[in-house]
Structure 1
Amino acid sequence: MAGALYQQVSRDLLDRISGDGMDKGTMLPSEAELCEEYGVSRITIRAAIAQLVERGLLVRRPGVGTFVTGRSNTARDFNLVGFLEEGRLFTSDPVSNAVITADARLTEALGLSEGAPVRHIRTAVHRDGEPLTVADGYSPDTAEARLSEDDYRRPVASAIAMGIRTRRRVHRAEQTLDPIAATGEVARLLGLAEGTPIIRARRLYFTAKDQPIYYLEVCYHPSRYAFNVDLVLREGGADIGFIPGPEEG
């Protein structure tokens, strides 16, 4: 019964997020308020919210509350889980290092004012001597927050290395994959012809207080990158739309 309850609450919260115009950044009522509203235990509320956090529709900010992410809830959007702390099996060579002014893309991603200084470092990443990716990293250009070339050379992910150096713990990241054409220096560094289709990953890293700290765009060599996903049923998902046959009697 408890499982059925938390799924009912989760579905109702989903309807509210989708239908009541709860915009990105809207804070949910507190756990205590939701317990009173639904007449259920705190454990049930936490399980219901956890389902929506897993789907990327809500995000928890420790000590603050739970907020709507603004992500779409459609069949075309897949929210997957990876690991920030994977070991680095690659060599990264900085190609350029410059201060630029934040454009609309960077102001939105990093929460900066338009025209703010941003550190942009481009690196060519190789594995076993073969070009694998071209990575463009962006961070606020301040002494306490900027990315450095040495962060790419440490044997951990660049975001983790930067967090260790600046004492700002990286807690999570959001990533979007999309197809683009390789052009200019990106095509040259990957050893591809102009216009070759490639995969780009746009990745935004957050601190434990859910503050954006680092934005990264990674362009992958098309023949040296595979996108593999394991699909499993969530708890309780096996019962959705299922009619037992005679053998399940």
Structure 2
Amino acid sequence: MSKTAAPAPALRTALTRQNATSLYEQIAARLMEEMEAGLYEPTGRLPSEAEIGERFGVSRVTVRLALDKLVQEGAVVRKQGKGSFVAGRQMRHGLDTLRSFHESLKLQGLRATMQLLEKKVVTLPDDMRQRFAPAVRGLFVQRLHFVDGEPIALGESHLPYRLNDLSWAEVEQQPAYSLLADKMGEGPARADIAIGALAADERLAGALQVAAGSALLLMRRTSYFGSGACCDHTHFYIRPERYEFVMSSTFRPA
């Protein structure tokens, strides 16, 4: 992909004013061509609305219509307080294979990293005690997941107490399933997964750098060893712009 510089915003780019295609559609098409040519790499940031308006000699309203069109087509994402960016590569999480959230990102060739926010031993809430019985204490871990340096998910996990002596660095760098395998000698054999949605409260909005009230995906995952013992209960709060869950199904006649 080309890494040449984006066109200088001050340079006027002529539009066909007699063309039946509206001005904003022409601008959207021009910007799309430039995005496909890689002119806004490596950051992916488009010029500001004012710069685009100056370049094409149109109003901010026309520029917003052009950007709205690109957002609706999935080519551009808006980041509050930062501007408009070329939409990144779509991330996919297969539900028909038991795999950690972090590992599923790495296997797609994405630059995925984690930041450990909290690691502490807690008294398990009542519903957790039922899952981890007879244990009454467990390890609580809160981690931010990043792709290309941008937060895309917050994971909050309850794990077996035996993992409490793992170092901060180990918990920050290894997925939960890997920690379980290394510390307890086996990984999960199965998991129950539920997908839902919720609006970001102030806490989630701050962590994921979105506006309060923004829609988030919620993945609830409970994992079990082959013996049937619960070994992981995690909530993932996920920004949905680039993320989707997929699975393959086989038709079985009734």
RMSD: 2.3
SS at match of 2:231: strand
2:183: which partner in 1?
165
C-alpha distance after superposition, 1:109-145 (max 9, x if no partner) = 32346xx22211100100111111000011232xx34
Q: Retained in 2: the 8 A contact 1:134–1:220? A: yes
Q: Distance in 1 between matches of 2:187 and 2:132?
A: 16
Pairing 1:35-54 to 2, within 5 Å after superposition: none
Q: Distance in 2 between matches of 1:172 and 1:159?
A: 11
Q: Retained in 2: the 8 A contact 1:204–1:212? A: yes
Q: Retained in 1: the 8 A contact 2:98–2:191? A: no
SS at match of 2:97: coil
SS at match of 1:193: coil
Q: Distance in 1 between matches of 2:245 and 2:165?
A: 28
Q: Does residue 216 of structure 2 align to residue 194 of structure 1? A: no
Read off the aligned partner of 1:194 and give its amino acid letter: A
1:23: which partner in 2?
none
Structure-2 change in CA distance of 1:109 and 1:233 (3 Å)? same
Q: Of the candidates 97, 100, 119, which is equivalent to residue 119 of structure 2?
A: 97
1:71: which partner in 2?
none
C-alpha distance after superposition, 1:161-207 (max 9, x if no partner) = 32222213321211111112211332111111112221111111111
Tell me the number of residue pairs that the alignment of Structure 1 and Structure 2 aligns: 151
The sequence identity of aligned pairs, in percent, is: 17
Structure-2 change in CA distance of 1:121 and 1:140 (3 Å)? same
Structure-2 change in CA distance of 1:221 and 1:147 (3 Å)? farther
Structure-2 change in CA distance of 1:168 and 1:126 (3 Å)? same
Read off the aligned partner of 1:162 and give its amino acid letter: L
Larger Rg: 2
Structure-2 change in CA distance of 1:125 and 1:164 (3 Å)? same
2:97: which partner in 1?
82
Gapped runs of 5+ residues in structure 2?
1-94, 107-111
How far off its partner does 1:152 sit?
A: 4.2
Q: Retained in 1: the 8 A contact 2:96–2:247? A: no
TM-score, L = length of structure 1: 0.54
Q: Does residue 243 of structure 2 align to residue 228 of structure 1? A: no
